[in-house]
Structure 1
Amino acid sequence: MTNTFGAEAAALVAQMTITEKLDLVCGNGLWRTKGVPRLELPSLLMVDGSNGLRVVPDQISTDTQNTDLGAFLNAVETTDDPEKRDDNVLLGKSIPATCFPALSVLANSWDITLAHEIGTALAIECRAAGAQILLGPGINLRRSPLAGRGFEYFSEDPILTGEMAAGVIRGLQDNGVGASLKHFACNNSETERISMDSVVEPRALHEVYLLGFERAIAKSSPWTVMTSYNRLNGVQTAQNSWLLRDVLRGRWSYAGMIMSDWHGIQDLPAAISAGNDLDMPFNAARRRRLKDAVSVGNVPTRVLDEACIHIAALTLRIADAQRRLTVSRPNFVVHHDLARKAASRACVLLKNQNDILPLTPKSCTGLLVIGTGAVAPEIQGAGSAAVRPIRCDIPLECLKTIAPIDVPIQWEAGWSANGDDDALLHNAALAAARSAETVIVFASPPPCISGENADRPNLALCPSHDRLIAELTTFHSRVIVVLTHPDAVVLPWADNVQAILSAGYAGSGYGKAVADILFGHTNPSGKTSVTWPMRPEDCPAFLGYPGEQGKHFYREGIFVGYRFFDIRQIKPLFPFGHGLSYTSFTYDALQLTSTQEGASVRFTVSNTGTRAGREICQLYLRRSPAAANRALPHHPLRALKGFTSVSLEAGESRVVDIALNRRDLAYFDTVRDDWTVPTGTVSVDIGASSRDIRLSASLHIVGDAAPTRWLDLHTPPGQVLEISGVKKDLVAWLADVTGQSIVETETQLAPCTRSFLGIYDTLCWSFGLELDETRLTHILDDANRRSRAKKPAITAKHIHNDY
């Protein structure tokens, strides 16, 4: 918030009664803030949906008691029983809106400009619906493909996540609608989501799970942040003062408003004290408990005022933005075209053996399409992110429209409507395939087995889909599979089909996007935003997912996603950042130039094929993963630090520039409790994926002083004495205590470095004295403080190209 809004908000709050303050922080019904009409502070309306609006007219009444549990649960219900599934109920009878690709799919575009365009369209539809805040984007990392809400989140990598989220947020807020960055933090599964404790060690927390939030906030200043349901290292996130005050407001200087997830607060006085400003939705019991806590002084008035100021400042900011920033009425035809473009950009061509795609008139004489997904596509996931689409492109219809006029297209269901085996439909599809030139199978996991409040039971497609595809490959040599799925899936038949196109939950433009790619009207350019495992056991979180006895241990630490596959030398089904094109690209002329803050990276990418295309160029920083000695930390073999999407005509070349700054070169040092740049040589790798490195050059970094472990009385003396300055302090103290000379003391101290005992016990034994523990502790603490304080400017020197 700007100082202008903060000062004006503080002046308003100073005029409020305690009742008005309590009303302001406790919400109003399911989707509104209360506002203070007496002071002309309006109510704010919030709506769900990062990939489209979910606005339910009968749930946005201004009646503060409109908090019907059934209505709330209908909005987030997930069911695997088709007879119980009613889309009108699941979508809460929402008004129609544009359904854009899920964020997991949008991330496959690696296109920040596209993310901004979608944010802009969402803002226009929000404004038309009278909404001031969109409850998204969600950016929890896709730690495991089993996570029920994985389709709502961008990636397994925090850099890709933060950059794409910032694009969406800027698009929203540039047009006067506030974003709500969620769910803060470590909400990585749906199992017992409101009580599970995510246990994450500090380095992984800062380097992986918080970094996406930090980067998105730094690049887009979201007007609100939403806390998650889970506990984090033992404390409910909405009540976690370290998370909200020390990290979010302190370390990151965030000045916006913090709100809870719906019914995510268990102790409202504790949440307000910890820095959570707004409790949503209204709950009479929680409000009463807060009132009691304020009345007896357990929640100081200044703390309540602070929360009110953040809410009032947000309200003033939105009112000002919507006065200044006029937007047109929604053009849903234009928005549907944008949804199609986004789907086209984000579909990933995973395999294309012998260039079977794109289809040509010759290759599709007798084209068979198999699968219920071709006529009743699953374009989105279940839960609060679900949208009631204004229109939806049907794949089979789009294929027939786009195909050459003399190409016959036959369709067979292959299985029942709910994905179960049906022997008649199965056999009919196989029979039709024997006379078809090319077969396209639309396959997916079972419908609605995952979503909000429901993790996936496994990574498999419907058994009927797998069986049919496997049988097809025994006699047919031209099988193309189009996948609809919430996250990565295992494909036991992958080696035996000729092409695989991943669409994910691609939104209402899915059908046209897929048809355009299959027939070559669009050149695919999407690349995977997560690593696809060959089997579930290869996933980093496999041994600790989804938790037990209320605790979810993140045992893999910093080795999330491709970092784990790299360090363990596990071959993935498809690597992070992978995606094929109908053209080819080459990389050359890598140049590194040192800067005051890091390095600038320049290289040339060329389209060496025969048609226009887009290439996503990825920059990774590579270090030796093994610690050189016990004082140095382990690192991922390779970590993404930057990327860019380049559009090139056939034969065209373009120079690409990507900057590396101090933070890109740093890791989180748990001794200093801060980011540290280690001195050493790293490799700057430029690739078409995490496993397809095209250029590499070495960079020598002179960074911060070597990191040290935290010293205490039990640290072995060999580790203590290698720390700069400690030996001098110890010798001076010991000489004073023993009456020996400096030289005599140094001589007696020298053998101590071989001891495996702690420094205190070793010195007492060696010098034959019961030494002062307090004095020794002061010497060690001085060394610890010096270690934390050392922050010299970094320098970088380009050594050589390896390619």
Structure 2
Amino acid sequence: MPSARALGEGVGQLGSKAAERPGDEPAARHGCGSAADDRSPDLSALTRDDKIDLVSGRGLWRTASLPRHHIRSVLMTDGTNGVRFVPAQIDDVGEQADLGAFLDTVDTARGETALLLGRSLPMTCFPSGATMGCSWDTALMYEVGRALAAECRLLGVQVLLGPGINLRRCPLAGRGFEYCSEDPVLTADMAAGLINGLQDHGVGASLKHLACNNSEVERTSMDSVVERRALHELYLYGFERAIARSDPWTVMTSYNRLNGVQTSADPWLLTDIVRKRWGYRGTVISDWHGIQDRPASLLAGNDLDMPQSDARKRRLRTALAEGRVPDAALDGACRNVLRLIERCDRAAAMPPLAADFDAHHALARKIAARSCVLLVNRDDLLPLTATCGHWLVIGSGAMEPRIQGVGSAGVNPRQCDIPLDMLRQTAGAGVQLSYHAGWADDGSIDPQRRQEALEMAARADTVLVFAGTPPDVSGENADRPDLALIPAHDDFIAALAGIHPRVVVVLTHPDAVILPWVGSVGAVISAGYAGQGFGGAIADILLGVENPSGKLPVTWPARLEDSPAFLGYPGEHGTHLYREGIFVGYRYFDARRITPLFPFGFGLSYTRFSYHGLRLDRSVLGRNQTLSISFTIRNDGPVYGREICQLYLGRPEAPRRAIPAHPRRALKSFACVALAPGESRVVDFVLTRRDFAYFDVVLDEWFVPEAVLSIEIGASSRDILLQTELTVAGDSALPRRLDLHTPPGIVMETPHAAAELTEWLAAETGAAPAEALAILDRCRTSFLGLHDTLSWSLGRELDEGALIQVLERINRENGIP
């Protein structure tokens, strides 16, 4: 990677100004061209072929234009840690346009991504989604969204294809570096901040990939099999919450199948859930070549087929001609696409937005610093000072940093801060700074370099090692084979820790990694894929110019086998079973009482914070009520710092047979608080009734059970500092549906059952009502079904049909359809 100079002049730069409003407002945001304000366009002038064109891509990155009808195309491109814009691809028309370049983009295994990036315009490379997730800062995400909007508008891009919010349920997933977290609340709120920043400034977002695209193995054919409660509470909830808080102009479907159905052709997902349950009125688009059955996808609610495919258009035309797809379905998709075009047209009329690349680089450096997570800092080794004397920097990552992952999220950076250069610049002349590669250029162990570096380390006061994961073995279309660093890096750090007490390790990596030497070194910083400002950011953190405030958005396992997805990953015979159910990430580690390497929400600081005075505005939460929560946080340390305060809903440990099962605790909200030494501040949270609900698969609805819960405030999921009890009044539950095989004890506890069954049994047997009731009461302890129990007890087989009619009448009386 070149030094900290511009890699290309790009497309010019103009002035900039700060973000106008934060990105963490809870209410839905509509901004430019709200779907809620759109009127249904008039389609009467369009022919059927016009309409087919309208719901199909034109070339690789555009929708179709219909000049006769004054309908303009929409230009899209990849994101969202930066804008990847390849001029040669933009206006090529035809489904074969630059196919090789497209495959280079999405196929890590081809190893040619760098060639494609070399053909894209240099733009700002922000940290990856997983790295920005470590900031837990929705307002900062809004700033990034605004900057991305400025660069998009400079290029004429109207929709940026992101953010991606698939949950990081397994650290091996190749695209894990693109996604924020293992938790849907953190994921959704961070995504909403970025989406609002984009769309408030005239560029649409594409929330992706809906849904359960959690592995790159056979990603276009693999069937993600997820039980319904986990699907609603985790994998869909992130999308639902992000949509409610930001109203993205588009939502993109994923490649995989979901419970047997291709997501792009799933009417339950796209119509019943996205449209009807969530009320989404934007445009649903496919992932690129993600539609396998165009007629089915249109019927399901996938409006726009990207990119151009003449074959898929032909199949849709045939299905319409044969009546297998009604024209009304095509008209509905056309209206949704026209609403997107209308939003883009309105945005084009907004005031100009300057793309100040210097300011954007400063922002990239700022968020990279906010996203660094201090994992280990024994004896306050960090921050370093100029009095530390001779520093030795080890590792090629200090000279050629790995700043991003590979695949469609790759960005050609305008410039790149080199860590070694920035360390020299920030430390000043008072520090003697030396460098050694430490290992071979290809990352393998070089015995001579290893020995030279160890000998130099013995003479240094402090040793900084830049270590990372193997390059180009993971990314889009390629999952990681393991959680290890490059073997030469682990080998060298272990040897170095045995001879030197002041070893600082800086990690660049896509997701959680295993650190076998972690107990032997002085300090460890996780930098992730930190973008073009990485060098300056890490120098600021190491030297104390910035106080680290990042916290882990995922749990780091001590070994791969502790990962919740381990037994079901990556699937077999085309099926990927999500065996862990609702117990993803920290929920699993809590339920199994497994000690992680580092817990969810963990991160150290150069200062100390204390938490005080937790208060609730009520001790009992009734129906149709919200809960206000407040506490005070104080900076008790010597320097300015930011703390990420985390609000969890805790549940007391339930018996093994408790139904339904719940996680021990679950994140419900969070706040970033910046404090000077000695300063304190009151932090407020508000929880709605929905925050206390789980998804009941029988009711097919969110349900709040009666419970005594714990409101918990923590510095991580394993560091709860304040807690208090709350009693929650439950919703009125529908009774269980009764049938012949329901045990009598459950039947007799159901409203209306005792009276109805007593009357029926008396008529069936000729017994007096009191005697019939006594027979039913004696059967309560039977584990057999009602029909078998009564037949056995009476010594004769009862009329099944008559009993079914009684049970159905009881079900109807209880409101069960």
TM-score, normalisation: structure 2 = 0.93
- Among 317, 333, 341, the alignment partner of 1:307 is 333
The amino acid across from 1:75 in the alignment is T
Shift of the alpha carbon at 1:738? 3.1
The amino acid across from 1:212 in the alignment is G
**Do the aligned partners of residues 460 and 223 (structure 1) sit closer, same or farther apart at CA in structure 2, a change above 3 Å counting?**
same
Whether 1:666 and 2:693 are equivalent positions in the alignment is yes
What's 2:247 paired with?
221
Q: In structure 2, how many angstroms separate the alpha carbons of the residues matched to 1:780 and 1:682?
A: 36
The amino acid across from 2:512 in the alignment is A
Q: How does 1:391-402 map to 2 (within 5 A)?
A: 391-402=415-426
The amino acid across from 2:280 in the alignment is Y
What's 1:361 paired with?
386
Q: How does 1:316-327 map to 2 (within 5 A)?
A: 316-323=342-349, 325-327=350-352
Asked if the contact 2:211/2:236 (under 8 Å) is kept, the reply is yes
SS in 2 for 1:754: coil
**Do the aligned partners of residues 5 and 751 (structure 1) sit closer, same or farther apart at CA in structure 2, a change above 3 Å counting?**
closer
- Among 654, 671, 677, the alignment partner of 1:626 is 654
The amino acid across from 1:645 in the alignment is C
Shift of the alpha carbon at 1:773? 3.6
Shift of the alpha carbon at 1:337? 0.4
Asked if the contact 1:184/1:225 (under 8 Å) is kept, the reply is yes
Aligned-residue identity in percent: 56
Asked if the contact 1:175/1:326 (under 8 Å) is kept, the reply is no
Shift of the alpha carbon at 1:428? 1.5
Whether 1:74 and 2:104 are equivalent positions in the alignment is yes
What's 1:607 paired with?
635
What's 2:139 paired with?
113
Asked if the contact 1:392/1:508 (under 8 Å) is kept, the reply is yes
Q: In structure 2, how many angstroms separate the alpha carbons of the residues matched to 1:136 and 1:4?
A: 19
Runs of 5+ consecutive residues of structure 2 not aligned to the other structure: 1-29
Whether 1:289 and 2:315 are equivalent positions in the alignment is yes
**Do the aligned partners of residues 751 and 66 (structure 1) sit closer, same or farther apart at CA in structure 2, a change above 3 Å counting?**
same
What's 1:174 paired with?
200
Asked if the contact 2:60/2:93 (under 8 Å) is kept, the reply is no
- Among 176, 179, 187, the alignment partner of 1:150 is 176
Shift of the alpha carbon at 1:787? 6.6
Whether 1:95 and 2:95 are equivalent positions in the alignment is no
**Do the aligned partners of residues 497 and 4 (structure 1) sit closer, same or farther apart at CA in structure 2, a change above 3 Å counting?**
closer
Q: In structure 2, how many angstroms separate the alpha carbons of the residues matched to 1:296 and 1:641?
A: 50
Q: In structure 2, how many angstroms separate the alpha carbons of the residues matched to 1:568 and 1:781?
A: 41
Q: In structure 2, how many angstroms separate the alpha carbons of the residues matched to 1:657 and 1:79?
A: 48
Asked if the contact 1:148/1:453 (under 8 Å) is kept, the reply is yes
- Among 493, 496, 502, the alignment partner of 2:520 is 496
SS in 2 for 1:697: strand
Q: In structure 2, how many angstroms separate the alpha carbons of the residues matched to 1:734 and 1:15?
A: 68
What's 1:763 paired with?
790
- 1:748-803 CA-to-partner distances (Å, cap 9, x unmatched) read 1012111111122223333455444445445545665677779xxxxxxxxxxxxx
Shift of the alpha carbon at 1:199? 0.3
Q: In structure 2, how many angstroms separate the alpha carbons of the residues matched to 1:428 and 1:354?
A: 28
- 1:362-413 CA-to-partner distances (Å, cap 9, x unmatched) read 22x1100000000000000000000000011100000000013121110111
Q: In structure 1, how many angstroms separate the alpha carbons of the residues matched to 2:810 and 2:181?
A: 40
- Among 370, 374, 389, the alignment partner of 2:413 is 389
Asked if the contact 1:671/1:788 (under 8 Å) is kept, the reply is no
Asked if the contact 2:35/2:281 (under 8 Å) is kept, the reply is no
The amino acid across from 1:603 in the alignment is F
What's 1:446 paired with?
470
Shift of the alpha carbon at 1:167? 0.5
Q: In structure 2, how many angstroms separate the alpha carbons of the residues matched to 1:6 and 1:353?
A: 54
SS in 2 for 1:359: coil
The amino acid across from 1:313 in the alignment is R
- Among 413, 423, 442, the alignment partner of 2:437 is 413
- Among 329, 335, 353, the alignment partner of 2:360 is 335
Asked if the contact 1:525/1:580 (under 8 Å) is kept, the reply is yes
Shift of the alpha carbon at 1:732? 3.0
Q: In structure 1, how many angstroms separate the alpha carbons of the residues matched to 2:644 and 2:372?
A: 13
Q: In structure 2, how many angstroms separate the alpha carbons of the residues matched to 1:616 and 1:297?
A: 57
- Among 729, 742, 749, the alignment partner of 2:756 is 729
Asked if the contact 1:186/1:232 (under 8 Å) is kept, the reply is yes
Asked if the contact 1:419/1:447 (under 8 Å) is kept, the reply is no
The amino acid across from 2:607 in the alignment is T
**Do the aligned partners of residues 173 and 679 (structure 1) sit closer, same or farther apart at CA in structure 2, a change above 3 Å counting?**
same
Q: In structure 2, how many angstroms separate the alpha carbons of the residues matched to 1:200 and 1:549?
A: 16
Shift of the alpha carbon at 1:88? 2.7
Point out the more displaced range, 2-11 or 191-200.
Answer: 2-11
Whether 1:55 and 2:85 are equivalent positions in the alignment is yes
Q: In structure 2, how many angstroms separate the alpha carbons of the residues matched to 1:664 and 1:5?
A: 27
What's 1:44 paired with?
74
What's 1:572 paired with?
596
Runs of 5+ consecutive residues of structure 1 not aligned to the other structure: 791-803
Q: In structure 1, how many angstroms separate the alpha carbons of the residues matched to 2:129 and 2:213?
A: 16
SS in 1 for 2:617: strand
**Do the aligned partners of residues 710 and 423 (structure 1) sit closer, same or farther apart at CA in structure 2, a change above 3 Å counting?**
farther
**Do the aligned partners of residues 410 and 466 (structure 1) sit closer, same or farther apart at CA in structure 2, a change above 3 Å counting?**
same
Asked if the contact 1:446/1:462 (under 8 Å) is kept, the reply is yes
Q: In structure 2, how many angstroms separate the alpha carbons of the residues matched to 1:174 and 1:736?
A: 70
TM-score, normalisation: structure 1 = 0.95
- Among 736, 743, 746, the alignment partner of 2:770 is 743
Aligned residues: CA RMSD: 1.9
Asked if the contact 1:625/1:635 (under 8 Å) is kept, the reply is no
Asked if the contact 2:549/2:605 (under 8 Å) is kept, the reply is yes
**Do the aligned partners of residues 101 and 780 (structure 1) sit closer, same or farther apart at CA in structure 2, a change above 3 Å counting?**
farther
**Do the aligned partners of residues 778 and 554 (structure 1) sit closer, same or farther apart at CA in structure 2, a change above 3 Å counting?**
farther
The amino acid across from 1:226 in the alignment is M
SS in 2 for 1:51: coil
- 1:725-763 CA-to-partner distances (Å, cap 9, x unmatched) read 333332233234334333221101012111111122223
**Do the aligned partners of residues 357 and 760 (structure 1) sit closer, same or farther apart at CA in structure 2, a change above 3 Å counting?**
same
